[in-house]
Amino acid sequence: MSRHSVSTEVNGRLYEREVDARLLLSDFLRHELGLTGTHVGCEHGVCGACTVLLDGEPVRSCLIFAVQADGRKLATVEGLASSPDELHPLQQAFRDAHGLQCGFCTAGILMTMVPFLEENPAPTETQVREALSGNLCRCTGYQHIVDAVLLAAERRA
Amino acid sequence: MKPPPFDYLAPSSLEEALDVLAEKGGEAKLLAGGQSLVPVLNFRLAQPALLVDLNRIAELDYIDVDEAGAVRIGAMTRQRALERDPRIAASAPLLAETMPLIAHPQIRNRGTIGGSLAHADPAGELPVAAVALDGEIVLRGRRGERTVAAADFFVGLMTTAMTEDEMLCELRLPATPKRTGWSFREIARRHGDYAHAGVAARMTLADDGTIARARLVYLSAGEVPLSATAATGVLDGGAPCEELFAEAASTARGEVDPSDDIHATAEFKKHLAEVLTRRALAAAWERARAAQR
């Protein structure tokens, strides 16, 4: 099994590690870097809990190897808010609209919907539901999540 | 679960990748977007000794459209790039209509056209679209280059005409003929899920308004993308109308061969295929007429 050096920028900070080829990016973030905000659900690309941004685009971190992130930029939920005392506007909307219960899926949903709102600043409810279709939530029935995303869009307007 | 151990190489050029394949073909697996391969590895359904990562090969990531409207797409072009490219919308609108049906944005950001074609999942949309568009697939290996019609490329369940020292490098789509309409319709339980049934329809009208050539290709209707040739036989040369579309759809229902699964019976999927065929043909006809004006 080959080992590889990885140099990657996560939330603006540079990390360098030596990893096994088979190490998933999700496990790299959690176990090598201690960034446990990214959650791991199904580990086969269905639940969306591990969604992070790779060079600005949302991807499943359980379907990429850490070695593939060499030289790339990553963003995780830890980097959304500008300081530990603040929430990102979408996080604030989730809080205000009761968009989470257990919170397991929330990081993945935030990392999916932040770039979605950048691309679609005034989405319809149908667009929001389609954009959420790649993220499973087993608590909320999605209604409050949809409300939260629409609330965040409304506040941006 | 976690993938089994493997060695990993990330060649930075096509030549380098072909050398590795020539030397290690049997034990190597090519990693494109990884959206199907990595789940297979995580489940340990495959244990390749070597992964050859194609993601550093920039020369395989391109979309070219010539003056006539013929399209060439590099194997490592992301599905998301095809979805967003206005040249694809203009020159291969059926392909553009197909893209949003493929899984979810997070998957399309990584998933590639070459990976999806090489994976040859009969439930996949891209193999169906490639066949419906009369696509050609360019394969390269150390022994040379060859071009295979998409219709001949898919030979069985997740099995293609590719040999183990070859690599899928490009999808070519001929220019869309004049007075051609298209539609890709599918029904899934949730947007982006595997569809119960789905069809790509294409229809080219003759000068007198009759159907010069129709194409109907189905997903999850057998081991490979299924071309319903009896149904298109009903359409070719006919005067397009609801009744003709209904007859073709009913014929197609007899050609598709879906399987039962936990969500739907084969009978129900055949019903969906028939209904989708009628709708897709009506939409394709509408667009073909609009293109005539």
Pairwise CB contact (< 8 Å): B192 & A134: yes
Band (B291; pLDDT cuts 50, 70, 90) = confident
Decide if B1 is inside a domain: no
Q: What is the pLDDT of residue B176?
A: 95
Q: How confident is the model at residue B292 (pLDDT cuts 50, 70, 90)?
A: low
Q: Are residues B71 and B39 in the same domain?
A: no
Which tokens go with A73? 């930029």
Residue of A nearest to B4 (CA): A22
Say if residue B68 is in the same domain as residue B124.
Answer: yes
The pLDDT assigned to B192 comes to 86
**CB-nearest partner of A134 from B4, B34, B106:** B106
Residues B192 and B252 reside in one and the same domain: yes
Query: Taking CB atoms and an 8 Å limit, are B8 and A43 in contact across chains?
Result: no
The C-alpha of B49 sits at a distance from chain A's nearest C-alpha, in angstroms, of 8
Same domain flag for B120 and B186: no
Q: Are residue B46 and residue B92 in the same domain, yes or no? A: no
CB < 8 Å to A60, chain B: 35, 106-107, 110
Asked, for residue B2, whether it belongs to a domain, the answer is: no
Are residues B284 and B200 part of one domain? yes
What's the number of domains chain B is made of? 3
B42·A48 Cβ contact <8 A: no
Contact at 8 Å (CB) between B174 and B277?
no
pLDDT in tens, B102-146: 999 999 999 999 999 999 999 999 999 999 999 999 999 999 999
Token pair for A96: 């205000």
Residue B191 one-letter amino acid: H
Q: Report yes or no on B123 lying in a domain.
A: yes
Structure tokens at B17: 């990748």
Whether residues B35 and A63 touch (CB distance < 8 A) is answered with yes
Amino acid identity of residue B211, one-letter, is I
| B137 lies in some domain | yes
Q: Which of B83, B104, B112 to mutate to probe the A interface, most A CBs <10 Å?
A: B104
Last residue of a domain, one of B148, B173, B198: B173
CATH code of residue B239 = 3.30.390.50
Q: How confident is the model at residue A1 (pLDDT cuts 50, 70, 90)?
A: confident
**Distance (Å, whole) CA B205 – CA B293:** 12
Residues A59-78: what's their mean pLDDT? 98
Chain CA centroid to CA B186, Å: 14
Above 80 in pLDDT, residue B293? no
| Mean pLDDT of the residues in chain A | 97
Query: Does residue B148 sit in the same domain as residue B71?
Result: yes
B47-67 pLDDT, tens digit per residue, is 999 999 999 999 999 999 999
Size of interface A-B (CB pairs under 8 A): 89
- Of B3, B22, B2, nearest in space to B11 by CA: B22
Those residues with Cβ within 8 angstroms of residue A94's Cβ, 6 or more apart along the chain or in another chain: A100, A106, A110, A145, A148
> What is the tens place of the pLDDT at every residue in B199-215?
999 999 999 999 999 99
Tell me the average pLDDT across B245-269.
97
End-of-domain residue from the set B36, B53, B70 = B53
pLDDT at position A55 is 97
Give residue B265's pLDDT.
97
ipTM of the complex: 0.94
Average pLDDT for chain B: 96
The pLDDT of B273-292, averaged and rounded, is: 95
Burial B131-149 (b: 16+ CB within 10 A, else e): bbbbbbbbbbbeeeeeebe
B28: containing domain:
7-53
Alpha helices per DSSP H over chain B: 14-24, 37-42, 79-84, 86-91, 93-98, 105-108, 113-119, 125-132, 150-153, 229-235, 242-255, 266-292
Closest chain A residue by Cα to residue B6: A1
- Give the C-alpha separation, B286 to A67, whole Å: 49
Whether the per-residue pLDDT at B148 is higher than 60: the answer is yes
Average pLDDT over residues B20-26: 90
HEC assignment per residue over B245-289: HHHHHHHHHHHCCCCCCCCCCHHHHHHHHHHHHHHHHHHHHHHHH
Which residues lie below 8 Å from residue B59, measured CB to CB, with a gap of 6+? B13, B14, B74
The pLDDT of residue A157 is 86
Domains of chain A: residue spans and CATH: 3-79 (3.10.20.30), 89-156 (1.10.150.120)
The residue among B57, B99, B106 with the most chain A CBs within 10 A of its CB, best to mutate, is B106
At residue B249, φ and ψ (nearest 5 deg) are -65, -40
- State the CB neighbour count (10 A cutoff) for residue B59: 12
